[in-house]
Structure 1
Amino acid sequence: MSFDVICFDCDSTLSRVEGIDELARRVDLFEQVAALTNAAMNGDLALEAVYGERLALIKPDQAAIDWLADLYIREMVEGVSDTIKTLQDNGKLIHIISGGLRQAILPLAALLGIAEDQVHAVDLLLDENGDYLDFARHSPLAVSGGKARICRRLRMHHSSLAMVGDGKTDLEAKLAGAYMIGFGGVVKRPLVQEQADVFVSDASLAAILPYVL
């Protein structure tokens, strides 16, 4: 199959880490926050039930976002750079669709040659001192069904779209007519293995290429 647009989740797909969980680890709240993240990614809780609660516990500031941006790049999944370049060389439009924090994802996107307007994630709101205020509560990506909404927007301009990701929120892209490739190279979630159109377990993201070219 061939697709005009290939969309990628970020956490546990482009990078080995779950960003908000790592921000929690940084302030000794990992177990509490990771339990909420896993509940949402496994489909046990709605994303909106945990999103604000996690950030209210962590209160990430500018220094934390800069730290996470570096971590995303250091922990890039095997094969990411080559996979993205191969897709771009074949004329594919690449988007990142993530429930993560946009400011932390943008440096990784820039490294991969993905334009800022092709990065869909949740904006963090900071004050003039760089301290945490809130997050963009209107963002569709902070609630269940948000990835389907972004995919529907993209499909208004492109006939065929694939979504690559590891969690329940990535499966939602199927509601927008996307072909969903479950990536289990970092974490294998039974729900995704069952419901994805295809599931790859390889540690390298390059394992998706036969399904999108």
Structure 2
Amino acid sequence: MTSCSPSSPSSPASSSPLVLQGFTAPLSLADFKLAAFDMDSTLISIECIDEIAAAAGRKDEVAAITEAAMRGEITDFKDSLRRRLALLRGVDEDALARVLRDRLTFNPGARDLCAALKAAGLTLVLVSGGFTYFTRHVAAELGMDFVRSNELEIVDGRLTGGLVMQEWGDICDGEEKRRMMLACAARIGASPAQCIAVGDGANDLPMMGAAGLSVAYHAKPAVRAQAMIAINDGGLDRLLDVFR
């Protein structure tokens, strides 16, 4: 998908309260115009790159790098992604189809939350350090308006271990997520304060820090600590509990 081009299960009941930091609920959805979402481990239950690596027998090695990057222990996301991609060199592209068919599932409440936000008039943005092969499917299923993610390079039916250069660059890291959210906000006439950003890993912190409302979903400790809302139990639709 292009830089800014358009493109259910509900959560189980939980008695555990949301963790609110820096404000008091309820808020009004009318105060927001845009919601930006991470994909892997946020809207969907898997890290797609780890599942692709399983096809190459290297899931443990790749997953260890993914975990360190999401925790913020590896601070250069671009470097961590290139290291992981190098381990996928030679994987048959059919592995992508198998991951999409057999492994990709939406997190509880993802469909309900996105539907509710769309019904309230919000623009939805998907910003992912993952891959277009999967973001296209997720965006279509959830009604995303704008998408940015990385394009895997495939030659002769196999992954090269590289990415395709796009008009905005080749790797959607934390800073690119922030830029994309703000660019889409400007395009629809919204201020940063009218943006909601939802993520789980360290590379989501730049966009979360720029948004008027930041939401950590089953997130790494450093992300939970910096978010205004932390959803630690239940599904994504628990976010709706803070709005009147």
TM-score by length of 1: 0.87
Aligned to 1:14, what secondary structure does the other structure show? coil
1:73-123 deviation per Cα after TM superposition (whole angstroms, max 9, x unaligned): 4x21112112211111111111111100111221122122225xx121111
Higher helix share: 1
Q: Structure 1 residues 44-53 or 147-156, which shifts more?
A: 147-156
User: Cα 1:177–1:110, aligned 2, differ >3 Å: closer, same or farther?
Assistant: closer
| C-alpha distance in structure 1 between counterparts of 2:174 and 2:115, whole Å | 30
State whether structure 2 residue 135 is matched by structure 1 residue 69.
Answer: no
Matches of 1:70 and 1:87, distance apart in 2: 27
**Larger relative contact order (CA 8 Å, sep ≥ 6):** 2
Deviation digits for residues 146-184 of structure 1, max 9, x if unmatched?
211212212323221111111111111144345210011
Larger Rg: 2
What pairs up with 1:70-149 in 2 under 5 angstroms?
Answer: 70-71=101-102, 73=104, 75-115=105-145, 118-127=146-155, 129-133=156-160, 134-136=162-164, 138-141=169-172, 143-149=173-179
- Aligned-partner SS, 2:240: helix
Q: Alignment partner of 1:199: what SS?
A: strand
Does residue 170 (structure 1) correspond to residue 204 (structure 2)? The answer is yes
Is the contact between residue 15 and residue 72 of structure 1 (CA under 8 Å) also seen in structure 2?
no
CA offset digits 1:23-77 (Å, max 9, x no partner) = 112221111111111111111112012111111111344312222222464x211
1:150 to 180, 184, 207: 180
In angstroms, what is the RMSD of aligned CA positions?
A: 2.0
SS in 2 for 1:23: helix
Kept in 2, the 8 Å contact 1:19–1:68? The answer is: yes
Shift of 1:212: 6.0
Say yes or no: does 1:196 pair with 2:230. no
- Identity, in percent, stands at 28
> Which consecutive residues of structure 2, in runs of 5 or more, have no partner in the other structure?
1-26
AA at the equivalent of 2:170: S
3-state DSSP class of the match of 1:78? Answer: coil
